[in-house]
A and B are shown apart, each in its own frame.
Chain A
């Protein structure tokens, strides 16, 4: 009976039909799905490039493809994954969908700007894809000068234009989130009653709005030097090549937090729901998101320890980098403490949350190695760095993203997915990930440099392990694509609150109606108050 009633009610998916109703939608939930579809395409494209890299590195000789092709592979892997998948990933999909609902709003503050930001990502992605199919780009995702401005003979400008445009997508999303959180909270939804996912996205939005313009400026300068030969970075034109690195990392280090903070927000939700306890140290986790956002702007120079930056600047940046480690540690400790005396269940999203904490812990702790001047001199620009940031970006952000998708899938689609398959793929991903990236820590300390097409024989064993892991990982990523598609048609109907969770998103239908709530809810309890859902659990 209930099932029938749910299916009969109109929801955001049935509210309009045809392509036009999607491409011109102003509904944040539909825009979230547009993003979801778009970045999924980019994710698998970036994955194809990653597979090519791992295939080439099975043997020490550069025998599968030419050096130029290999250089394009790792460049396009990085550009696609960073700018067109990780940066938009959680905010633009899960954030877009759930941030308004979680604070009891009917939409984001600027629905048209929200749609515009999706179009900007698509247009930016179009430029990047054009560059790739026209011949590719080989500068590395970091575009270091003067290689990118003077020496590379590839499609640097088209790619830079694409990233520039996608940056505005990110800025507009951030702007929208900030205004929405400030202005559109439901009655009773005070700042310290907001779910931690909202706090995390709010902190992320601040970085997006403050940091991304610097990337835009930097790309304009690259454009000016490469296209107009105005000397900015190339010493042959009177420029300073290290200036580029300062500008680039002034955005791109905070961008690491753009990529990982929303994931931390997801984990807070998952840990609470599947242990049925309020998040331990709620205000510390909320404040740590803001602390990360602020301190994250002061540490960019730790990417430049061997760049000819002054010794003293190096020391200041090393010192400050350790400050940013503490808020991350606080989060991990508080999540762990939340489990204490909880009621812990092991549904798929919780497995991803455990995976996140484990991998992010290793990713974070190995970041301490790189912040240490004496160690960084040896391991910077080696596979150690690659392993570290994949533990944070893939082991952290992507685990959180998949955990979030598995958690909110029933809300977004109204359907459950097959839990057994989902748990299996979570396990495969965890194992495959560690097999891929753990050997790279050892490779890095052994001295294997990054971005090498061919390498000395003694590194082969570890590279083969890594490539084997990558093939396991690929299977783990393909499985969800299959069972999620299956669940859209055949999955059991989920009901409004399948997990017994507390957020406002679980107080409305699955899938939610276009305007989210029949009546704007009035919030009269703290976040994660499980006594408020007691009746639903019975």
Chain B
């Protein structure tokens, strides 16, 4: 045998111990049922083995009560399994508002990661302990899946859309990062390391690299290079809506829908401007598909997020036909999930 044969990966995120506890519950239920069934079969097989070749046992009548009991009890147990698993999943799907944003672009066969401060990494992710981190992820080609076993969490990374994953790293160390969705030749080479560091060490690491400016600064440069400001004027006087304070606000669309301006909406509006046109504006904007890559898009998004609203201006220009405040609270059951703006944009 090898040196060790551990049964669990390390627990290095806020979810790890919760998932392990749930797993243990399932294992216990499995063992109890298995032993019950195997034990019953073994006992019956020995006790009621055939004594003579002509033996015909008396047949037993089906007991309705027994059938009900052994349907209802397992059903009750499975409902516990459902509720417990769903509650963890629900938590995993709701990044807290104060989570530090980072960006992941998957491509055959590497992970490209960008920190808001501007640091770029390939197949490595440095994160501090104790702080919620939210990764916004997309793929440049096929479907990948971002998987950190020590964090017990995983999320597919899909071309053409954003997915998110969040966690609070809890234990400094070096952990596997895997691609879990088969993506072609070097699928098993699309791996890397997650370095969880104490906050001070992380800060040192951030300072150690010499980034070319934060993501928002790079996005701002891109914004100028692409001449976005010609139409998107900050004061709303341009032909297109002002982007100041847009992030996470509700936007009235030309077709009557109201959506939240999250990362997915911003990305779509850059690459497919006609898909969701803000009410009161003409669909004038050309697509920037091909002019800006996924990494550029996330820099633009960080730039837009950095445009804090100047008091009293900006906001109105986005919601022109809408009385201010009307859409602050979305009615439940509308297209957007009713659990808040921070829900990852999933379809």
Chain A interface (Cβ < 8 Å from any Cβ of B): 62, 67-68, 71, 138, 140, 144, 146-147, 150-152, 234-236, 240-242, 275-278, 280-284, 305-312, 314-315, 318-319, 322, 325-326, 329-330, 332-334, 336-337, 339-346, 354, 357-358, 361-362, 365-366, 368-369, 371-378, 380-382, 442, 445-447, 449-456, 458, 460-462, 530-531, 534, 537-538
Interface set, chain B 289-347, CB cutoff 8 A to A: 337, 343, 346-347
Would you give the shortest CB distance from B93 to chain A, in whole angstroms? 5
Q: Is the CB of A373 within 8 A of B37?
A: no
Option from B41, B54, B74 in Cβ contact (under 8 Å) with A326? B74
Tell me the bound Cα distance from A461 to B79 in angstroms: 36
Chain A residues, CB < 8 A from B62: 280-284
Chain B residues, CB < 8 A from A530: 56-57, 59
Tell me the bound Cα distance from A152 to B183 in angstroms: 9
Q: Is residue B159 within 8 Å, beta carbon to beta carbon, of the partner chain?
A: yes
Q: Is the CB of B86 within 8 A of A374?
A: yes
Q: Is the CB of A241 within 8 A of B159?
A: yes
Option from B56, B57, B78, B184 in Cβ contact (under 8 Å) with A138? B184
Q: Is the CB of A144 within 8 A of B56?
A: no
Please report whether the interface of chain A is mostly helix, strand, loop or mixed according to DSSP: helix
Tell me the bound Cα distance from A311 to B92 in angstroms: 10
Would you give the shortest CB distance from B2 to chain A, in whole angstroms? 4
B157, closest chain A residue (CB): A308
Chain B interface (Cβ < 8 Å from any Cβ of A): 1-2, 5-9, 18-19, 22-23, 26, 29-30, 33-34, 37-38, 40-41, 44-45, 48-51, 53-60, 62, 66-67, 70-71, 74-75, 78-79, 81-82, 84-90, 92-93, 108, 141-143, 145, 147, 149-150, 152-156, 158-161, 163, 176, 178-189, 337, 343, 346-347
Option from A151, A340, A357, A450 in Cβ contact (under 8 Å) with B180? A450
B138, closest chain A residue (CB): A235
Q: Is the CB of A537 within 8 A of B188?
A: no
Option from A308, A345, A346, A461 in Cβ contact (under 8 Å) with B346? A308
Tell me the bound Cα distance from A368 to B22 in angstroms: 12
Q: 10 closest A-B pairs (Cβ-Cβ)?
A: A447-B149, A235-B160, A374-B88, A372-B85, A373-B89, A452-B188, A339-B44, A322-B78, A461-B2, A381-B180
B44, closest chain A residue (CB): A339
Option from B33, B82, B108, B337 in Cβ contact (under 8 Å) with A311? B337
* A344-B85 in contact given A283-B62, A309-B346 (Cβ < 8 Å): no
Q: Is the CB of A365 within 8 A of B145?
A: no
Option from A236, A336, A346, A366 in Cβ contact (under 8 Å) with B40? A336
Q: Is the CB of B23 within 8 A of A375?
A: yes
A to B CB contacts below 8 Å, 21 in the list:
A67-B187, A147-B182, A152-B184, A242-B158, A306-B145, A308-B161, A308-B347, A310-B347, A311-B343, A329-B74, A334-B67, A341-B58, A344-B49, A362-B34, A372-B22, A372-B82, A374-B85, A378-B149, A446-B9, A452-B188, A534-B56
